Amino acid sequence: MDYQTLIEEVYQEIQSENPRGKVADYIPEIAGVNPDQFGMALVDLEGNVFGVGDYQVPFSIQSISKVHTLTMVFPKFNTQLWSRVNVEPSGNPFNSIAQLEYEKGIPRNPFINAGALVITDALCSKFDHPVEQISTFINDLAGENCVRVNQEVMNSEKNHAARNTALAYFLKSYQNFDNPIEQVLDVYFSHCAIEMNCVDLARSFSFLANDGYSIFAKREILTESHARRVNALMLTCGFYDEAGEFAYRVGMPGKSGVGGGVAAVMPHKFSIAVWSPELNEKGNSVKSIRALELLTDKLSFSLF
Ligand code: GLU
């Protein structure tokens, strides 16, 4: 398979279609990024990298980091984790407070904000220096020192934290939060503020295409069984309340973030990261999603 030609074709088609959306404006520091940027990197399971467009430009990975934090926490708690957070698609906006109330403080899944806060809380219970350890972990997955926590983005979110703080207090009121709220929020905003480029992000997801074994870290990151579960969660919950549409149109497990990135895997074949800042009304990058749809159409295979 000539992946380089494939992604270049996809890139050209997207540039001529030029679908537009709106850059996330609720995190002021992200609102200022150049909306025209668009890049894509595909990494196969031999470690070959194929890239096009702005694939070497670092961007804010935001919620994509929730896959990394879940990966750190899952082996520490195993199935006990699922008494604190469910594994169902939410069908609601990612920062919904109403859903958390009528489901009595158990978030729908680890990727909506409430669920990710529970995961970050669990992480803080097991790791003494969470922010450093998350960065080290992702560097290890990518096989190089690539992670930078953008302090401006982190502070920007911290200064607009009312909703995430409300979610954390809500969780606490249902005894589903163990550590000090401020501390966990700081860790959460820091991991959301991680910047990486498409190549490193795709490399950091490679183990999920490879039954849990990372060819970059040269070790098993998750058991095959845990890796399958993380992929199932990405497929059903990785795209806010548009996960069904993504599975229908693209058919790959993946995770998006409001910075405009999407990381996805084709099990036993490759991992891929796509980035373009303009989002649709569900919070997913318009160009990234369209690019992955074109890619799987051209490949004429997906998961299904
Ligand atoms: N840090 C963002 C928030 O908590 C993450 C949003 C996202 O990428 O889904 O609102």
Per-residue pLDDT at 108 exceeds 90: yes
Residue 205 confidence (pLDDT): 98
Of residues 186, 181, 24, 34, the one with CA closest to residue 94: 24
Please work out whether the CB of residue 187 comes within 6 Å of at least one atom of ligand 1: no
Q: How far is the CA of 284 from the centre of ligand 1 (A)?
A: 11
Contact 114, 163 (CB under 8 A): no
> Can you give the chain as a three-state secondary structure string?
CCHHHHHHHHHHHHHHHCCCCEECCCCHHHHCCCCCCCEEEEEECCCCEEEEECCCCCEECHHHHHHHHHHHHHHHHHHHHHHCCCCCCCCCCCCCCHHHHHCCCCCCCCCCHHHHHHHHHHHHHHCCCHHHHHHHHHHHHHCCCCCEECHHHHHHHHCCCHHHHHHHHHHHHCCCCCCCHHHHHHHHHHHHCEEECHHHHHHHHHHHHCCCEECCCCEECCCHHHHHHHHHHHHHHCCHHHHHHHHHHCCCCEEECCCCEEEEEECCCEEEEEECCEECCCCCEHHHHHHHHHHHHHHCCCCC
Give per-residue pLDDT as tens, 146-184: 999 999 999 999 999 999 999 999 999 999 999 999 999
Q: Find the radius of gyration of the CA atoms of the chain.
A: 18
What CA–CA distances, in Å, run from 149 to 131, 134, 266? 9, 10, 28
Give per-residue pLDDT as tens, 8-32: 999 999 999 999 999 998 888 889 9
Per-residue pLDDT at 302 exceeds 80: no
Per-residue pLDDT at 300 exceeds 80: no
Distance CA 176, CA 117 (A): 10
Domains of the chain by residue range: 3-298
What's the token pair of residue 20? 């537009």
Per-residue pLDDT at 301 exceeds 80: no
Q: How far is the CA of 135 from the centre of ligand 1 (A)?
A: 18
Q: How far is the CA of 270 from the centre of ligand 1 (A)?
A: 26
Contact 10, 291 (CB under 8 A): yes
Please work out whether the CB of residue 261 comes within 6 Å of at least one atom of ligand 1: no
245 — pLDDT class (breaks 50, 70, 90): very high
Please work out whether the CB of residue 94 comes within 6 Å of at least one atom of ligand 1: yes
Distance of CA 28 to the CA centre of its chain: 20
Q: Residue of the nearest CA to atom 2 in ligand 1?
A: 62
Q: Residue of the nearest CA to atom 4 in ligand 1?
A: 113
Contact 186, 180 (CB under 8 A): no
Mean pLDDT of 106-112: 96
Q: Which fold has domain 3-298?
A: Beta-lactamase (3.40.710)
Atom of ligand 1 nearest to the CA of 157: 1
Please work out whether the CB of residue 243 comes within 6 Å of at least one atom of ligand 1: no
Give per-residue pLDDT as tens, 58-103: 999 999 999 999 999 999 999 999 999 999 998 888 888 898 998 8
pTM summary value: 0.97
